[in-house]
């Protein structure tokens, strides 16, 4: 599937690029909010996970298989999956994120329609799958076909946008640890998604958060589900490599 | 300090999402809070003490603030906590939550998550089986999310 | 039916003080918040939570708009007899839901 020499080079590059110590947004939170994330009895994200577990067992239509029908016990089959998304899709010939993968499965293997972006059932399934990788290191696939998309994602990370004319890198690389309007600026990692954001009073995806950030700098946010968002997610997964997955996280 | 807070709150009113802030002069709402507490105590004197009110002093987001209130009580049939109530100063309404307990609780410890519209004082009041009321107040600083949706 | 998450021990010793935690999915719309069109979103709150132990009321809470969305309550009760703990939520627009868990007391 992947060409060997290119793969070796890529592995070398990934390994050699020594990952500096990364600080999860978890560390920036108060002890009480951290307790909310750590304690499954209190973590509101677990309500969505519970929903997702039920949806996993349910067939989307009379003639269709449920997720469990092909994948069996999610605790076994989905272990490690969320940690390596976004990943390459052979048919579409570009990377897809976890939510898109779930929708592709629905369309291709379950005879169902794709769920709209940020729809509650889709978030529930995504959080159920992501939970199975909790604690595992973010492991972006060493697939050289992803490289051009990752490069574009990184370019987007460094591009100044919006009326405030700020790039992601300016806040989250250069000024992480400083404060903006009283709140600490996190490094902006994507290792806890989908997560329960207190600001949303609900669970949401990485795409939602990225679009929020764009609105925050007074830029027109890219449409939900757009390729640019997936490319940026792909770059973020590489940037987060090695960090423990925290899904479903809690963030202010 | 107060003026700066009110101006920021007015600016936040224009922002989408978050809580609608209906900020009134501090004196009016502090008086209302004292009235609400007096009402809960049915006019009985409210002493300070016996309560522990755990709340982060600096709140990251007013939408979900974990709080734990514990009262020092043996929780026997003879001596127990019958109620715990929380009042606020600057939300649109003074009441936050009112718990009703009894000797079957075993421990007078309750926890929940509350909403805070802005930085303010909160008061937890406990009603004991002997008819006395005890309170504990905390001052909380609430920061708002820098990047709203 | 709203999603709920109840955390309670399956077994306890007689006289043991056990912690019960209940979380329910609910927006707790305050009625003070404007929507995207500037009009106030209608109030939709859970106003009461209660716990019954084999039918006896052992704990209750009156909730107001200041309780966070997806309300969470944690409290304690003394394990007396084996039986059923029932958790009930009531609120605006006729909202009423009860969930039960079994408790074995030795």
The answer to whether B52 and B69 have CB atoms below 8 angstroms apart is yes
Please say if the pLDDT value at position B128 is more than 60: yes
Tell me, yes or no, if C72 comes closer than 8 A to chain A by beta carbon: yes
Tell me, yes or no, if C37 comes closer than 8 A to chain B by beta carbon: no
Phi, psi (5° rounding) for residue B127?
A: -110, 125
Dist. CA C87–CA A251, nearest whole Å: 28
Q: What tokens appear for B35 in the block?
A: 């009235």
Taking the CA of residue A88 and the nearest CA in chain C, the distance in Å comes to: 34
* Tens-place pLDDT, residues B86-124: 999 999 999 999 999 999 999 999 999 999 999 999 999
Best residue in C45, C64, C71 for a mutation probing chain B (most B CBs within 10 Å): C64
Of C21, C25, C28, the CB nearest to A41: C21
Q: Give me the pLDDT at residue B143, please.
A: 83
Question: What is the chain C residue with the closest CA to B22?
Answer: C32
Dist. CA A76–CA B74, nearest whole Å: 47
Q: In terms of Cα–Cα distance, which of B74, B104, B100, B52 is closest to C17? A: B104
Dist. CA A78–CA A74, nearest whole Å: 5
Chain centroid, CA A25 distance in Å? 14
How wide is the angle at C-alpha A146 spanned by C-alphas A92 and A75, nearest 5°? Answer: 80
Partners of residue C4 in chain A, C-beta under 8 Å: 47
Which residues neighbour A197 within 8 Å (Cβ) at sequence distance 6 or greater?
A203, A204, A209, A250, A251, A252
Q: Give contacts of C 43-102 with B, CB under 8 A.
A: 53, 56, 58-69, 71-78, 80
Backbone φ/ψ region at C31: left (φ over 0), alpha (ψ -120 to 50), beta: left
Q: In whole angstroms, how large is the CA radius of gyration of chain B?
A: 17
Q: What is the residue range of B59's domain?
A: 2-142
Q: Which chains touch B (3 or more CB pairs under 8 A)?
A: A, C
Partners of residue C3 in chain A, C-beta under 8 Å: 47-48, 50-51
Of C59, C65, C72, the CB nearest to B105: C59
Dist. CA C91–CA A209, nearest whole Å: 31
Q: In whole angstroms, how large is the CA radius of gyration of chain A?
A: 18
User: Helix A147-158 crosses helix A227-239 at what angle (to 10 degrees)?
Assistant: 90
Dist. CA B49–CA B39, nearest whole Å: 19
Three-state DSSP class for residue B126? strand
Partners of residue A215 in chain B, C-beta under 8 Å: 147-149
Of C3, C7, C23, the CB nearest to A51: C3
Q: Which chains touch C (3 or more CB pairs under 8 A)?
A: A, B
Q: What is the ipTM of this complex?
A: 0.95
Dist. CA C3–CA A119, nearest whole Å: 16
Q: What tokens appear for A77 in the block?
A: 């089959």
Written in H, E and C, the secondary structure of chain C is CCCEEEECCCEECCCCEEEEEEEECCCCECCCCECCCCCECCCECEEEEEEEECCEEEEEEEECCCECCCCEEEEEEECCCCEEEEEEEEEHHHEEEEEEEEEEEC
A70 an active-site residue?
A: no
Q: What tokens appear for C13 in the block?
A: 């010793």
Tell me, yes or no, if C36 comes closer than 8 A to chain A by beta carbon: no
Q: Give contacts of A 26-45 with C, CB under 8 A.
A: 40-42, 44
Q: In terms of Cα–Cα distance, which of A1, A7, A4, A5 is closest to A144? A: A7
Q: What tokens appear for A202 in the block?
A: 């609900």
Please say if the pLDDT value at position C39 is more than 60: yes
Q: In whole angstroms, how large is the CA radius of gyration of chain C?
A: 16
| B149, β-bridge pairs | none
Determine the number of helices (DSSP H) and then strands (DSSP E) in chain B.
Answer: 2, 9
The answer to whether C60 and C53 have CB atoms below 8 angstroms apart is no
CATH (domain of B94): 2.60.40.2470
Best residue in C10, C19, C25 for a mutation probing chain A (most A CBs within 10 Å): C25
Partners of residue A180 in chain B, C-beta under 8 Å: 146
Tell me, yes or no, if C22 comes closer than 8 A to chain B by beta carbon: no
Which residues neighbour C80 within 8 Å (Cβ) at sequence distance 6 or greater?
B104, C14, C15, C53, C105
Dist. CA B148–CA C94, nearest whole Å: 33
A50 to C3: CB separation less than 8 angstroms, yes or no: yes
Residue ranges and CATH numbers for the domains of chain C are 4-105 (2.60.40.10)
Taking the CA of residue C25 and the nearest CA in chain A, the distance in Å comes to: 7
* Tens-place pLDDT, residues B36-84: 999 999 999 999 999 999 999 889 899 999 999 999 999 999 999 999 9
CB pairs under 8 A between A and B: 59
The CB density around residue A177, as the number of other CB atoms within 10 Å, is 10
Please say if the pLDDT value at position C100 is more than 90: yes
Q: Give me the pLDDT at residue A11, please.
A: 53
Q: What tokens appear for A52 in the block?
A: 């997702």
Question: What is the chain A residue with the closest CA to C27?
Answer: A201
* Tens-place pLDDT, residues A102-121: 999 999 999 999 999 999 99
Of C7, C23, C27, the CB nearest to A47: C23
Tell me, yes or no, if B33 comes closer than 8 A to chain C by beta carbon: no
The CB density around residue B145, as the number of other CB atoms within 10 Å, is 26
Hey, which CATH number is domain A23-251, 1.10.760.10, 3.40.50.2300, 1.10.10.10, 3.40.50.300? Answer: 1.10.760.10
Dist. CA B82–CA C87, nearest whole Å: 19
Question: In chain A, what are the domain boundaries?
Answer: 23-251
The answer to whether A114 and A107 have CB atoms below 8 angstroms apart is yes
| C105, β-bridge pairs | C12
How wide is the angle at C-alpha A165 spanned by C-alphas A162 and A167, nearest 5°? Answer: 95
Chain centroid, CA A146 distance in Å? 16
> What band does B146 get if pLDDT is binned at 50, 70 and 90?
low
Phi, psi (5° rounding) for residue B56?
A: -60, 130
Which residues neighbour A5 within 8 Å (Cβ) at sequence distance 6 or greater?
none
The answer to whether C85 and C99 have CB atoms below 8 angstroms apart is no
User: What does each C-alpha distance from A251 to A18, A107, A118, A201 come to in angstroms?
Assistant: 28, 32, 18, 10
Q: Give me the pLDDT at residue A61, please.
A: 86
> What band does B16 get if pLDDT is binned at 50, 70 and 90?
very low
> In a structure prediction context, what are the per-residue pLDDT tens digits for chain A, which is 252 residues long?
555 555 555 554 554 455 667 999 999 999 999 999 999 999 999 999 999 999 999 999 888 999 999 999 999 999 999 999 999 999 999 999 999 999 999 999 999 999 999 999 999 999 999 999 999 999 999 999 999 999 999 999 999 999 999 999 999 999 999 998 878 899 999 999 999 999 999 999 999 999 999 999 999 999 999 999 999 999 999 999 999 999 999 999
Phi, psi (5° rounding) for residue A164?
A: -80, -10
Q: Give me the pLDDT at residue B134, please.
A: 97
Tell me, yes or no, if A19 comes closer than 8 A to chain B by beta carbon: no
Q: Give contacts of B 98-117 with C, CB under 8 A.
A: 98-102, 104-107, 109-116
State how many domains chain B has.
1
């Amino acid at each position: 599937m992947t060409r060997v020499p290119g793969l070796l080079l890529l592995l070398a590059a990934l390994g050699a690029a020594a990952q500096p110590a990364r600080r999860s947004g978890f560390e920036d939170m108060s002890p009480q909010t951290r307790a909310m994330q750590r304690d499954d009895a209190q973590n509101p994200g677990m309500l969505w996970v519970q929903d997702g577990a039920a949806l996993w067992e349910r067939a989307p239509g009379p003639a269709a298989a449920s997720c469990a029908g092909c994948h069996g016990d999610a605790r076994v089959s989905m272990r490690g999956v969320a940690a390596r998304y976004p990943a390459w899709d052979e048919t579409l010939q570009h990377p897809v994120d976890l939510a898109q993968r779930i929708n592709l499965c629905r369309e291709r293997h379950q005879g169902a329609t794709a769920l709209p972006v940020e729809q509650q059932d889709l978030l529930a399934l995504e959080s159920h799958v992501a939970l199975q990788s909790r604690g595992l290191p973010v492991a972006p696939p060493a697939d050289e076909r992803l490289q051009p998309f990752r490069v574009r994602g990184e370019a987007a990370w460094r591009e100044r946008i919006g009326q405030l004319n700020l790039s992601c890198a300016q806040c989250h690389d250069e000024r992480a640890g400083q404060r903006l309007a009283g709140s600490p600026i996190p490094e902006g990692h994507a290792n806890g998604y989908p997560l329960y954001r207190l600001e949303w009073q609900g669970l949401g995806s990485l795409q939602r958060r990225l679009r929020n950030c764009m609105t925050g700098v007074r830029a027109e946010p890219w449409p939900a589900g757009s390729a640019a968002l997936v490319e940026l997610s792909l770059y973020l997964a590489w940037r987060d490599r090695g960090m423990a997955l925290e899904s479903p996280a809690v963030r202010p | 300090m107060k003026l700066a807070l009110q101006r920021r709150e007015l600016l936040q009113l224009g922002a989408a999402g978050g809580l609608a802030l209906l900020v009134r002069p501090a004196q009016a709402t502090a008086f209302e809070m004292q009235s609400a507490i007096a009402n809960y105590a049915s006019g009985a004197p409210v002493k300070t003490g016996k309560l522990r009110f755990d709340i982060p002093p600096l709140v990251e987001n007013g939408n979900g603030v974990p709080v734990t209130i514990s009262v020092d009580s043996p929780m026997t049939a003879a001596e127990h906590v019958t109620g715990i109530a929380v009042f606020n100063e600057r939300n649109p309404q003074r009441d936050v939550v009112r718990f009703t307990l009894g000797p079957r609780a075993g421990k007078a410890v309750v926890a929940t998550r509350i909403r805070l519209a802005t930085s303010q004082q909160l008061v937890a009041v406990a009603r004991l089986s002997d008819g006395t009321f005890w309170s504990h107040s905390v001052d909380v600083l609430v920061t708002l999310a820098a990047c709203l949706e | 039916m709203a999603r709920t998450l109840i955390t309670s021990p399956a077994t306890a010793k007689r006289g043991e003080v056990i912690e019960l935690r209940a979380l329910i999915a609910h927006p707790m719309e305050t009625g003070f918040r404007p929507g995207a069109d500037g009009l106030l979103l209608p109030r939709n709150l859970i106003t009461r939570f209660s716990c019954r132990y084999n039918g006896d009321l052992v704990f209750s809470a009156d909730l107001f708009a200041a309780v966070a969305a997806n309300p969470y309550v944690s409290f304690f009760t003394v394990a007396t007899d084996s039986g059923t703990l029932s958790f009930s939520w009531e609120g605006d627009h006729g909202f009423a839901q009860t969930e039960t868990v079994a408790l074995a007391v030795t």
